[in-house]
Each structure stands twice: as structure tokens, then as C-alpha cells.
A and B are shown apart, each in its own frame.
Chain A
Amino acid sequence: MSANGSTETLVELEHLTKHFDVKQGVFARGTAKVHAVEDVTLQVRRGETLGIVGESGCGKSTTARVMLRLLDVTSGTVRFDGRDITHLSQRALRPLRREMQMVFQDPYASLNPRKSVGQIVGTPFAIHGVKNARSRVQELLERVGLSPEHYNRYPHEFSGGQRQRIGVARALALSPKLIVCDEPVSALDVSIQAQVLNLLRNLQSDFNLTYVFITHDLSVLRQIADRIAVMYLGRVVEIGDSEQIYDAPKHPYTAALLSAVPRTGTDPRQRIVLSGDVPSPIDPPQACVFHPRCPRFHRGHCDVEEPELRDLAPHHAAACHYPLERWPITDEELRQAEGAVREDRPHLEGAAHD
């Protein structure tokens, strides 16, 4: 336990930025920059599940990998358990590695097919020199809903859901403080998803774990997250308590995401269909990055001034000049922000009905 073990915050990201250099075709001169994560500030509190949600390319996975220092930081600060780990060498990070673990999306690709389950789950014990590994591994297997007899079996003998349990057991092995789950149930069938989600929830209360849960699936996230950060093009556009995000979203992008999720319920609902695709993170739009797709876009404001992430309610902040006044909201109300004078209708041809 570190001296700061009693503080409430486990992970703290301050103005975290991560750029990647990419080449654009063999004949291109120089390289372009991918703005994967741009000025992200957030905290992960002890014992909570922080959900990070967004579409592909929004930077959610990169944020998690930088958080774990699996990637180097371009600028900003990463603090883990009260300690600045932004520039620690991989060697200096090694003792911290047992405290932060990861569960991956693809249960087929993330387990070495040539190793037995016992070896896979026991690897962390071997690396960190822990005794009577075998019985500890068997305990873990039982804890994640597998049988201790599975010790000598190989990954291919298991179904997708069972493999994900193996992945969870491996992550749990060294009693970490933080587990980052990167789309852990996305590759699983619905009936199996629920099993793994239940498992993760139970383990959290039993072991007092802190999760960072990355997903594109808002329904899954609702079942597990305490707080949620919504990311778009490398930025956090809205962050707050889960109930707030789902019941009173403030950012038009969050609103669009929520309304786009297909449901089995029979109640009719307002659908906000965004036009176009997510722009390239190589050349993100000026000012508010969401403005080219935003139904509330105000020319001369949203494309000029970048909105700051500001508190709009207790434990709820959004980066928008014209946050939503209510939820649910009609299409007309969404397009006409209260208190805003606008001469032009949004130029979103085909935004509502294509």
C-alpha cells in the first residue's frame, strides 16, 4: 500500500494528449499527426467503474493504454495511486504492473493457444515470484466460474465466454487495484455477455476492484458503470454520473448516441440521426470538434470557439456551448437551442430523414 492509499482517487489524467505519426502513402513527404487523445482530464475513483464510451477512433482505447503506460505520453500527466507515472521507465513501472491489469476484447486472440489455462493464469505469479501458484490458480478458476480441473486444458477447448473468464482470472491473479476492460463482452453472444457482466460486477464488490470499462455499447455500459466519460475525436465531451448521462444528457453527441441505440421496447421515441461520419482524427474540425455533425450548430460560435468542459449539474460536465435543456427532446427543440438567436437553419441536409 502506498502512502496515499487512503485518498479517493486512484488514477488521475491531467491534460493528457497522445499523438501518433502516420505516413500517408509511400510517396508522401513527411508524416501526418493523428490526434488520438487531446487534452483529456479525468479521475478514476477507488472502487468505482468508470465507463469510457465512444465510436471507433474516438480515442477511448488509446486513453486506456496511455493510462496504463502501455503507450508513451505526448503531453500531460498520468497519476496512479498518488504517484506521477507519466515518465517512469518500463523498468520502474514493473512493480506497478501487478496493480494494473487489462482484460481484452477478443478472447480468441488474447490467450496463447500453446499454453494451458494453468500456465496462462499462473504467468503473473511466475513473473512476480509468488509461491504455491497452482492452488492459487485453481482458486481463481473457481472464483470466475470455471472448474479447478480446467487447469491443464488449453484455450481452444473453451467457448468464447469461458475464454473471457480465463482472461478475467489472469487479470485478477495479482490482486490488482485497477482493471481496464477493453470491450470485454463485445465479441460474445448476448446470452454469454450477461454471464460475464454479472461476473465482473460480483468480482468488483468481492475484491473492491476499480474498473475502467471501455465500450461502444451504451446498453452494456449502463449495466456496469458508475460514472461515464463520453469521448468524441479524442476529447471528453461529457462526463458525469451514469444516471445523469442516461437520464439527462447534456451534449448533443451523447443525446444522438443514446437515441441511436435500437431497443426492443415498444414505446415510440425520438431518434436523432446524425449525418455523415466521424471526421478524420488526422485533421479534426476547428473549435468544437463535433460542430460539422451537430444538430445544434451555431455558425460563428461553435466553429470559432472551443467549448470548455464545464459543470452543468452536480457531478456532471459537458463541453458544449448549447447544452440540452431537457431529455427526451423533440427534433425541433434540439435544433433550436433556447436563448440562442440564429438566422440560419442547420445546413444538415438529410440529417433527420435521408
Chain B
Amino acid sequence: MAFYIARRLFWTAIVVAAVIAITFVVFYLLPAGDPALRFAGKNPNAQQLDLIRHRLGLDQPWYIQFFKFIKNFFTGDQYGWPGLGYTFAGQSSVLHLILDRAPRTLLLIAGAAVIWLFSGVTIGIISAVRRRTIIDRAAMGFALFGISAPVFWLGLMGLYIFWRQLGWSSGTGYVSPADSITGFIGHMWLPWVVLAMLYAAFYARMTRNNLLETLGEDYIRTARAKGLTERQVIFKHGLRASLTPIVTMFGLDIALLVGGAVITESVFNLQGLGYLAINGATTQDLPTVLGVVLLAALAVALMNLVVDILYAFIDPRVRYA
């Protein structure tokens, strides 16, 4: 297993490096203007521009910059390890910037994930067990709503109702749990629910379909023939098999959100990693973009590995084929 993990980690590194390289290429192939111009003040002369380009390292070809980035990453820089360089704008450490913003995104994802996992799976089970009843129809109606409603619309509607009208939410913005736990929850519960909505809907549908499929399997008939109660049949035999694919999906969904909760972040003005990425991209701040891309790519690649290992532990057939 150590060998397996080592091999997978090696490929993870290759993939992440490739993503970084592609980011560099895209940055240079699709120039939205010379970044040096932004920092050179009004009417700069050529000399000043060259100086700035030199200071930002932009006078070198992209692959040299790429290798410098990789080298700095491993050896660290003046801001510590891993070395992510400094932003073009403000000349501050990308590492510190990310460390500052990451908790917002991660806490948003964590809260939402708990909500969507529990509600999605629960709704899925109820609706599978009560198949073709009014409960099932209502649950699947909710699922359809959750899947089709755009996140920004849900977010804005939520804010209007629960913040402006009812006052149950503390509105937009972010309060660190270290400062005030009630403030944190007051600000976060609505974004949690809004972000969880889409996923809960998906998970409910998936749980329902998987469980219904599993309940049609021959080994479920065996379980009933043994004289197990219906509860044992469903929860022990049915769920075990139908939740395994959900584990895989859960891990990847969480990882994808590290760089992908942008809309929720902006609707609720949480200024997390997504905000950082968008800001970096619109201001051609390559180091910021690279930092977020690197983190997001790492999250997806590592979560993939975790999920695969977890899957092998859940399903003995994968462990020893």
C-alpha cells in the first residue's frame, strides 16, 4: 500500500505541476494588457517599465518563470515555506494572503458539506423507502428545485427573506469564529444552506436511486429470507452498498469547492479563496492566481487519492480483486 500511495503521490505532483504550467501559458498567451503598466504610474517611460518588468520577473520567458516558481515552492522564499512569491499589487506575501483567506472558504465548505450530506442522504433514504408515495414525490420535487435554482438567485432570495425581512441572518460579510462564535454562525448559516441546497438535491436523488437499485439485488432477497427485519435489511444491507459511490462523490465535491465556491462567496461577500482568484485574474496578478490554482489543484488531486484509498477500505472487492 505504501508503494501505491507513493506512486499516486508522484502522479499527483506531475498533475499539479502541469496545471501550474498551463496557468502560466494561458496567462502569457491571452494577455489582457501588460501587468507592468498597472504598477508604473501615469505615463511611464520605457525605462521605468523595463525596471518594473525586471523586478516582477516578467522580462524572462514563461518557462524560466515557471521553473523559478517551482524552485521557490520547494525551497521557500522570504515569507517562509512553501514559497508562493508576492503579489504584483501591494507586494505582499501570497502565502500569507492565502492563509488568511483559506479558513473562510474551508469553513463555508465544511458547514455546507455537513448539511448537504445529512439532509441529502436522509431525504434520499426516506424517499426510496416510501417510494411512489406523496413523501417521495415531495422529496423529488424539492430535489428538482434544488438542482434547477441558480445559486446566486437562491442567495439573493435568502438574504432578502432571512436578513432583510425576518432578520434571522446577520447578512453578508464574514466574522471570524475566533472573534465571535455567534456572529460567525449568524453570518454563515445562510451561505451554508444556500451552498448545500444544490448538493443536497443531487445527493438525495443519488441516494434514492442507488438504494432502490440495491434493494432490487439478490442479496437483499437473501437478507429478507434470513428473517431480518425490514429496518435491518434497509439500513445494514441496503445502505452499505448504496452509500459507497456517495463517499467518492462527497470527497470530490468538497475538493472541487476549494476553488469553486466563487458565486456563494461573492453573493455573501465572504472574500475567501474564490474572491482572491477572481480578483487576481481580473488584475492580472499572476502570483495570486497561481497560489489559488495550486491550492485548488492540490485539494482535488489529494482528495482523489484519499477517496480511492477510502473506497478500497469500504469495498473489499476493490481491495483484493
Contact = CB atoms under 8 A, between A and B. Distances in A.
B321 A25 contact: yes
Contacts of B312: 25-27
Among A23, A25, A26, A29, the one with the most B-chain Cβ atoms within 10 Å of its Cβ is A26
A87 to B, nearest CB: 31
A29 B321 contact: no
B interface bracket (residues with beta carbon within 8 Å of A)? under 10
Contact of A23 (B1, B3, B321): B321
A26 B314 CA distance: 13
B4 interface: yes
Give the dominant DSSP class at A's interface. loop
B14 interface: no
Interface in B1-17: 1, 3-4
Interface string A62-90: 00000000000000000000000000000
A28 B312 CA distance: 12
A28 B308 CA distance: 14
A36 B1 CA distance: 28
Contacts of B321: 22-26
Contacts of A22: 321
Nearest to B4: A27
A27 B309 CA distance: 9
A279 B285 CA distance: 64
Interface in B88-104: none
Contacts of A28: 320
Interface in A4-27: 22-27
Nearest to B311: A26
B164 interface: no
Interface in B269-321: 308, 312, 318-321
A288 to B, nearest CB: 28
A167 B3 CA distance: 48
B314 to A, nearest CB: 12
Decide if the interface of chain B is mainly helix, strand, loop or mixed: helix
Nearest to B1: A27
B283 to A, nearest CB: 44
B289 to A, nearest CB: 35
Interface string A47-61: 000000000000000
Nearest to A22: B321
A34 B233 CA distance: 37
Nearest to B3: A29
Contacts of B1: 27
A22 B320 CA distance: 12
Interface in A95-125: none
Nearest to B318: A26
A186 to B, nearest CB: 20
Contacts of A23: 321
A25 B318 CA distance: 6
A27 to B, nearest CB: 4
Contacts of B308: 26
A25 B3 contact: no
Point out which of A23, A27, A29 has the most chain B C-beta atoms below 10 A from its C-beta: A27
Contacts of A25: 312, 318-321
A27 B312 CA distance: 9
A29 B1 CA distance: 9
Nearest to A24: B321
A322 to B, nearest CB: 37
Nearest to B315: A26
A24 B3 contact: no
B304 to A, nearest CB: 13
Contacts of A27: 1, 3-4, 312, 319
Nearest to A29: B3
Contacts of B4: 26-27, 29
Contacts of A29: 3-4
A201 B319 CA distance: 48
B11 to A, nearest CB: 14
Nearest to B2: A27
Interface string B1-37: 1011000000000000000000000000000000000
A25 to B, nearest CB: 4
A29 B312 CA distance: 15
A7 B103 CA distance: 80
Contacts of B320: 24-25, 28
A25 B312 CA distance: 9
B285 to A, nearest CB: 41
A22 B4 CA distance: 16
A349 B171 CA distance: 78
Interface string B27-69: 0000000000000000000000000000000000000000000
Contacts of A24: 320-321
A25 B320 CA distance: 4
A25 B1 CA distance: 10
A25 B4 CA distance: 11
A25 B321 CA distance: 4
Contacts of B319: 25-27
A33 to B, nearest CB: 14
A153 to B, nearest CB: 29
A23 B1 CA distance: 14
Contacts of B3: 27, 29
B218 to A, nearest CB: 18
Nearest to A23: B321
B319 to A, nearest CB: 5
A25 B313 CA distance: 11
B63 to A, nearest CB: 35
A26 to B, nearest CB: 5
A26 B318 CA distance: 6
10 contacts: A22-B321, A24-B320, A25-B318, A25-B319, A25-B320, A26-B308, A26-B321, A27-B1, A27-B4, A27-B319
In the A-B complex, list the 3 residue pairs whose CB atoms are closest, starting with the nearest: A25-B320, A27-B1, A27-B4
Given A25-B318, A27-B3, 6 more contacts: A22-B321, A25-B321, A26-B4, A26-B312, A27-B319, A29-B4
Interface of A: 22-29
